[in-house]
């Protein structure tokens, strides 16, 4: 803990943490040391973890990197925090992220952008950018993020780390600040597949406070490297499209060649709904967000405008002053697609398209063991130089939202750096509940 705290101080300019629980983490570490001596320590004894600042931890602030929650203290712990602490993890702090987890660069935070440790002029990725950089810059052993449409996998790939999103319905969201509930998942960012599997195993499994969870038994750790021959599909468009960076393509092609040379069957597939992935995701995610964020009304939670004079002005002014630009954009978009005159044309239609995407993805994963795609179309870009057109920046989520729409597990794995020294990542998708197969095969890439 002392070593990580030093590192956090040295690299404070990366802006990875919204708050460091220094004294508390040191005290927790002492207690864990004691339990190790007594031989009664849990499975995470010695593991120092950072959590994304949208995960509730009793008695600690939780802001979702928003002004509207900047002074909010959680009165209970999320199920995952309880499970991590029960196994003797030490929680070292809460990490910066995009406001309400909306973004893919960590540039939408009330607390400012997070800087990539590989090149501090570049973004960390998002929305769990602080969590990814905390691991990348050795400020903790592992971090927990949330992934609605790629927010664990994409920052992990921008930072050269491993990012894992489980099957929808494996890890409890009780105590996670909701963004889009039919997508939101919790996932670890780690340096090893072993750690990802262990953290997954401890966090996953039924919880009476999250009714979406499966009761299936959870099995993941220990990871046993799988050397059997696999059938793997890759997305043809990822290699042929002009929208994908040439070095990202090269990383994919090299991996395909290596897999083939090692005797695996690797075949191109074309995904007929590719152009509909991003629009479908953004219609549904913003609709759900507009509903979830209705609770921040200046009365129940968080910030209340000092200018408010009556109920209407409390709502209007607190929300206008408390939410950032991107969050407001999404609330408006989501409210629009849910409004009476447009519901059938957008929201209901997107639900149907989602079903098609899910069915088609399942078909592919029934024919193949895994689907291999890049995590992102390009590596980390320069801070402030990202796309100013929101639609174009949403399109950069093209490779991560498929697993989110289909609810299947996916892992982003680091596959080296580009010519500028920026990390590149590839993603493996697997069948629902095939986490163990995913972890066992992931070892091949490292
Ligand atoms: N970039 C996507 C979005 O902004 C995904 C974010 C996430 O997974 N939380 O919605």
| Bridge partners for 93 per DSSP | 20, 50
Question: What is the per-residue pLDDT for 221?
Answer: 81
Active site annotation includes 127: yes
Confirm if 354 and 182 have CB atoms less than 8 A apart: no
Indicate whether residue 151 lines ligand 1 (CB < 6 A). yes
The residues that bridge with 145 in the sheet, in sequence order, are 187
Centre of ligand 1 from the C-alpha of residue 127, in Å? 6
- For residue 283, what pLDDT is reported? 98
pLDDT (0 to 100) of residue 301: 86
pTM over 0.95: yes
pLDDT for 401: 98
For the record, the structure tokens of 320 come out as 């206008």
Nearest to 398 by CA among 379, 414, 420, 374: 374
What does the pLDDT read at residue 313?
Answer: 97
Count Cβ atoms within 10 A of the Cβ of residue 34 and give its class: 0-12 exposed, 13-18 middle, 19 or more buried.
exposed
**pLDDT at site 393:** 87
Q: Is 316 a catalytic residue?
A: no
Q: Decide if 188 contacts 143 (C-beta within 8 A).
A: yes
Any ligand 1 atom below 6 A from CB of 127? yes
103 ligand 1 Cβ < 6 A: yes
d(CA 184, CA 168): 8
Report which of 261, 235, 220 is spatially closest to residue 427, judged by C-alpha positions.
Answer: 235
Query: What token pair was written down for 10?
Result: 């040295």
C-alpha pair distances (Å), 23 with each of 20, 59, 265, 349, 384: 9, 14, 52, 51, 35
Residue 186 is predicted with a pLDDT of 98
Query: What is the spatial distance between Cα 169 and Cα 50, in angstroms, rounded to a whole number?
Result: 23
- Give me the residues paired with residue 90 across strands: 48
Which residue CA neighbors atom 10 of ligand 1 most closely?
102
DSSP per residue over 64-97, as a string? Answer: TT-GGGTT-B-SS--HHHHHHHHTT-EEEEEE--
Ligand 1 centroid from CA 250, angstroms: 26
- C-alpha 147 – ligand 1 centre gap (Å): 7
Number of alpha carbons in the 13 Å side-chain half-sphere of residue 203: 33
Q: Work out the burial of residue 366: count CB atoms within 10 Å of its CB; fewer than 13 is exposed, 13-18 middle, 19 or more buried.
A: exposed
| Reported ipTM exceeds the 0.90 cut | yes
Q: Is the CB of 104 under 6 A from ligand 1?
A: yes
* Residues in the chain with pLDDT values less than 50: none
Residue 146 C-alpha to ligand 1 middle, in angstroms? 9
Report the pLDDT value the prediction gives residue 391, as an integer from 0 to 100. Answer: 81
Q: Return the structure tokens found at 32.
A: 């864990």
């Amino acid at each position: 803990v002392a070593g990580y705290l030093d590192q956090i101080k040295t690299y404070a300019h990366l802006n990875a943490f919204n708050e460091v629980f220094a004294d508390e983490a040191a005290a927790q570490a002492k207690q864990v040391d004691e339990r190790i001596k007594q031989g009664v320590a849990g499975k995470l004894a010695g593991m120092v973890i950072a959590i994304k600042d949208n995960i509730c931890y009793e008695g600690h602030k939780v802001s979702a990197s928003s002004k509207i929650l900047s002074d909010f203290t959680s009165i209970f712990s999320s199920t995952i925090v309880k499970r991590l602490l029960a196994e003797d993890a030490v929680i070292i702090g809460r990490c910066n992220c995009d406001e309400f987890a909306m973004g893919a660069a960590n540039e939408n935070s009330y607390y400012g952008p997070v800087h990539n440790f590989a090149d501090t002029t570049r973004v960390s990725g998002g929305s769990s950018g602080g969590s990814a950089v905390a691991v990348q810059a050795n400020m903790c052993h592992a971090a927990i993020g949330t992934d609605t449409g790629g927010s664990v996998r994409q920052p992990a790939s921008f930072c050269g780390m491993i990012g894992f999103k489980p099957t929808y319905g494996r890890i409890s969201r009780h105590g996670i600040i909701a963004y889009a509930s039919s997508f939101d998942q919790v996932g670890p960012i780690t340096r090893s597949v072993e750690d990802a599997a262990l953290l997954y195993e401890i966090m996953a499994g039924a919880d009476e406070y999250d009714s979406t969870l499966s009761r299936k038994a959870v099995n993941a750790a220990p990871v046993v490297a799988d050397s059997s021959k696999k059938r793997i599909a890759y997305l043809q468009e990822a290699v042929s499209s002009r929208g994908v960076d040439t070095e990202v393509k090269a990383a994919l092609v090299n991996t395909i060649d290596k897999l083939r040379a090692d005797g695996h069957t690797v075949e191109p597939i074309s995904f007929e709904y590719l152009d509909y992935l991003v629009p479908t995701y953004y219609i549904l995610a913003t609709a759900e967000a507009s509903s979830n964020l209705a609770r921040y009304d200046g009365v129940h939670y968080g910030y209340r405008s000092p200018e408010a004079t009556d109920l209407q002005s409390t709502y209007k002014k607190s929300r206008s002053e408390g939410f950032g630009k991107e969050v407001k954009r999404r609330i408006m978009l989501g409210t629009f697609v849910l409004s009476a005159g447009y519901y059938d044309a957008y929201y209901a239609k997107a639900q149907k398209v989602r079903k098609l995407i899910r069915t088609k993805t399942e078909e592919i994963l029934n024919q193949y063991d895994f689907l291999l795609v890049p995590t992102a179309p390009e590596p980390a870009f320069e801070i402030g130089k990202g796309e100013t057109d929101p639609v174009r920046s949403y399109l950069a989520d093209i490779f991560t939202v498929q697993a989110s729409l289909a609810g299947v597990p996916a892992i982003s794995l680091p596959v080296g750096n580009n010519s500028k020294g920026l990390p590149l990542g590839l993603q493996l998708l697997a069948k629902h509940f095939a986490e163990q197969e995913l972890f066992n095969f992931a070892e091949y890439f490292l």
